[in-house]
Chains A and B, each alone.
Chain A
């Protein structure tokens, strides 16, 4: 009888809790890459709320959010595109749209979800509601650096052919603009938060290539074409990533390739303004949302360390070792905290960005990408 009463009370409480509207503005998802699951987390409570399983191979997975911050579209390495409802904490739809995928984007109006694929190389675009395919854009190349741009456009770049394409869905059927000669082996790209500048990093040669998407006909703009000149090239054990967190005040900060440094670039003139030598090959160089600090993590075998750079002095002001295999960092939207996934410690660690104190450890199974719902409202994320 006692058990029954407790059970009843518990289920009543559960019912009440579920009847409460769920506010999603401070929630997020953490990719658990080995397990094929995502962990729903609460930023304010610094806690995990639920695990949602069955998303396939999530190595190198990423996701985007619907404009209402209710649905996440998760892009798996195995080509899986999974729509997760973070209110009901369930998978609501899943398609395997290609053999080998690398990431995705959601259109500015939230109606189209695009996925870039290695195999077959190209971009496929889906209805965000039903996940039915609305466009198939083969590129004959491994396709990287897919972002959304204002005006219902997607921009993406080809590793093998060095072209960038702009797919404009403003009138329904896509209109493709092709921009050749972006450089040799572009490995990733980003778009600035205002949707104007698209920057792709090059692996096959020194430098980066930018496009001004406000131009009628965007032309490749070479950025730092010989930043590695005279220096010995070092092996790259993990490709850097470019994400839309590069702007610090008037400068972009971006990882170098084959050199243990980050590069500072004037955002208006796209010329070099400085370099900061780092602990290893940077993977992410992420500006805190206010731009005052840049947090950098590193490729194997130096991936247990984070360095924090002051964006005014460009000097390293803090260095610490959260643990083995630091894969990703995500700032709270106003930057007071940073969440860090430490894969081989099976933890997400939460730090204060002012005093660098560790605030919390949250258990997670081989965590990689961390994505807060506030991304829903930012171009390029």
Chain B
């Protein structure tokens, strides 16, 4: 399956954690739309929501907690993340945050999967 082109995301470049971009900046909306279009084109035969949910709770959960309330890594519940743009979260998932314990997941998952996870995190019901 063809992967989308590599994107530059604020939080993924440079040496330290940058301020996270607010939601609805124009370029990110465009980018998100582009990703959504691309995702829906491939979604049916590539994404496995149950496997991704399992990954989020079990494997992201090793640092962020099974219920995503945080641990060594920060709280990932939707009420905590709501100020972040889905696209920025996608970038953090794919490329990690240098000088922190957040690793890049790009070697293990596709950009579409990272995008799915970012949206899943933002859309979770408040617990």
Contacts and interface: CB of A to CB of B under 8 A. Distances in A.
A159 B65 contact: no
B66 A239 contact: no
A221 interface: no
Given A33-B66, A57-B66, A100-B65, A203 B101 contact: yes
Interface string B37-70: 0000000000000000000001101110111011
Contact of B71 (A77, A203, A301): A77
Interface stretch (B8-16, B23-31, B76-84, B102-110): B102-110
B96 interface: yes
A375 interface: no
Nearest to B63: A239
Contacts of A71: none
A343 interface: yes
A157 interface: no
B61 to A, nearest CB: 6
B65 A77 contact: yes
Interface in A203-251: 203-204, 235-239
- Chain B facing A: main interface SS: loop
A118 B72 contact: yes
Given A142-B72, A301-B108, A236 B66 contact: no
A344 B65 CA distance: 17
Contact of A235 (B58, B61, B69, B107): B107
Contacts, number: 63
Contact of B96 (A57, A235, A301, A325): A235
Given A33-B66, A57-B67, A77-B66, A239 B72 contact: yes
A100 B64 CA distance: 11
Contacts of B70: 100, 118-119
Given A118-B71, A236-B103, A239-B101, A59 B66 contact: yes
A359 interface: no
Which size bracket describes the interface of B in this complex? 20 to 34
Contact of B67 (A59, A102, A118): A59
Contacts of B96: 235
A78 interface: yes
B38 to A, nearest CB: 24
B101 A236 contact: yes
Nearest to B96: A235
A275 interface: no
A102 B69 contact: no
A238 B59 CA distance: 8
A237 B59 contact: yes
A102 B71 contact: yes
A343 B61 CA distance: 14
Given A187-B101, A236-B103, A239-B72, 10 more contacts: A33-B66, A34-B66, A57-B67, A59-B61, A60-B65, A118-B70, A187-B72, A235-B105, A236-B101, A300-B62
Interface of A: 33-34, 57, 59-60, 77-78, 99-100, 102, 118-119, 142, 144, 159, 185, 187, 203-204, 235-239, 300-301, 325, 343-344
Interface of B: 58-59, 61-63, 65-67, 69-72, 96, 99, 101, 103-105, 107-108
The 9 closest A-B pairs by CB, nearest first: A59-B66, A235-B103, A238-B62, A300-B59, A235-B104, A77-B65, A236-B103, A301-B108, A237-B103
7 contacts: A57-B67, A99-B69, A100-B65, A235-B107, A237-B59, A237-B103, A344-B58
